Amino acid sequence: MAQTFSTEAWRQVIIPYEIAADYDNPFLDVSIQAAFTGPDGQTITREAYWDGGRSYKFAFAPITEGIWSWKVSAPKETGISGETGTVSCVPYTGDLPIYRHGFLRVHESGRSLCHADGTPFFWLGDTHWEFAYRERWDESNHPEMDSMFRGMADRRVRQGFNIYQTNLRSDAWPDRGGESPYWRKGDAGEYPNVAFYQEELDRRMYYLADLGLVNALGFGWFMSVFSEGIAHWKNTARYILARYGALPIVWTLAGEVAGYAPEPDRTNFINAWREVALWISEHDGYRTLQTAHYDNHRPFSEYYYDEDWYDFTLNQAGHGDFRISAHDFYSYCQAHPAKPFVEGESMYEFCSTLEESGTRLCTADMLRRVAYTAIQCGACGYTYGAQGIWDTVWKKNEISPSPVSVFNRFGITWYEAIDGIGAAQMGYLRRFYEELHFEELRPVLTPGLSPFGDFEEPGEHPSMHDPLTLAAPDADRFVVYYNSNTRGGCRIRNMRDCAYTAQWFNPRTAEWSVCEERLTPEDGCWRAPGRPDGDDWLLVIKSI
């Protein structure tokens, strides 16, 4: 008898089947698929995931309203080959953007991300490398939270985050007994540890999805492709894709994909993980966005950039182990304009930096300046992180100085990190750029004005002292960022022959104040003043 289901657009429904056969390895020995066909004739193919015993389930999210029908393809002995059913897709009635506007894709401009219906999407991520099982579900030692995991996710949503940048950490690490909780091994090979998914990971994945967060998900860390093999990671991708691929997801492949070993290991890492990425690209019926969590190098890494499966750059500028400059961001975005750029890991709040002259605590001011620098140079998003959260420090006595734990020399716990002011300021950043229609703005070089002289023409790229400027194509908006090293004002050029207004935006408090109620350019130029005080500021100039 055909099954029938109803769900809202872009919302997952789980379709269960019980098969009539037993297999030595119920994961490796059988593949059960269904083709879901929508009212417009579009087909999405999904593989069923094994859920223990003879239970197999399809996870499916319809992407258009109307009736979707499916037909199962499976070996005859399963007893379900040819089974059919329908999913009635009704309009989404909630207020979460990821379901109102659909999953993510690359904007037609190639410079930013957007929803399926074209609505702009500004990437604001929070880093949770250990979200899958080390962040506690039923415990908390933060006075305002009953759950470590749920409390942090709820807080980030309230602050304006829309991306959870995570990693399954499904590597078989020696300090975890050399066994991954995701897998079990038997005489017929490895198979999913279904109890772990049912009892632990499902609720975490679903909780994030129900909050409207997009999970930017990696499978493991770079070195594991050697220790555990390409076949293992394809199996991991296959099972995760089947079980969670109908949720709001971005595939980020693996942490620091190329690693830091010299050749030939570096190239071997890149080539091995490429095979996993290509497998996902071939089998993901949703054509979910794919990228790779890059390693930290200068100049910024660009492997995979020209490959079809690779949709956007998820960069890692690092935590002080290299100088972080506007030149690096600007040069990369100018040289790679065909795909969006997101700064995905830099200067986590409370991190102990890696600097040749010694370490220091990374403050909200430091990370905020990197975030605005990246966006002003052409990035379309930023991932924040807080030390004590990504390394999942429960209490103070878990931290001991060692040559390995170089990033948490100041003993920061998760319950301290979650209260960092930098996260709130990242929420201000997202709202600021969305209100100004960031997707329309482009970096322009702006000559500076300083006590040491005025510059008629800008250099080939911005220096550490230069204001960083974004401009709308029709010159009706200019956004100027003054970092704490900018010594004076700047000359805004190529303005329209009309009146403008100028306002200051304080990125620490999100407060606005008037700079000029009315200004008129002379010969298309205006001499903008320096910032109000010694902190970083933004000057927004709009035509009247």
CB-neighbour burial class of residue 4 (10 A; exposed 0-12, middle 13-18, buried 19+): exposed
Look up residue 175 and give its amino acid: D
Q: Distance between CA 133 and CA 195 in Å, rounded?
A: 13
Q: Distance between CA 92 and CA 89 in Å, rounded?
A: 9
> Which tens digits make up the pLDDT trace of 74-99?
999 999 999 999 999 999 999 999 99
pLDDT for the residue numbered 66: 98
3-state secondary structure 456-485: CCCCCCCCCCCCEEEECCCCCEEEEEECCC
pLDDT for the residue numbered 35: 98
Structure tokens at 323: 């100088």
> Which tens digits make up the pLDDT trace of 451-493?
776 666 677 888 888 899 999 999 999 999 999 889 899 999 9
- State pTM to two decimals: 0.96
Examine the pLDDT at 104 and tell me if it is beyond 70: yes
Confidence label for 402 from pLDDT (cuts 50, 70 and 90): low
Task: Report which of residues 137 and 178 the model is more confident about.
Answer: 137
pLDDT for the residue numbered 449: 84
Backbone angles phi, psi at 221, to 5 degrees: -105, 160
Highest mean pLDDT among 275-279, 357-361, 465-469: 275-279
Between the alpha carbon of residue 266 and those of residues 20, 271, 272, 325, the distances in Å are 47, 9, 10, 25
Confidence label for 526 from pLDDT (cuts 50, 70 and 90): very high
Spell out where 231-285 has E strands. Answer: 249-255
pLDDT for the residue numbered 186: 92
As a whole number, mean pLDDT of residues 15-21 equals 98
Q: Distance between CA 398 and CA 391 in Å, rounded?
A: 11
> Which tens digits make up the pLDDT trace of 205-230?
999 999 999 999 999 999 999 999 99
Instruction: Look at residue 179 and give its three-state secondary structure.
Output: coil
> Which tens digits make up the pLDDT trace of 36-45?
999 999 999 9
Residue for token pair 């009953």: 146
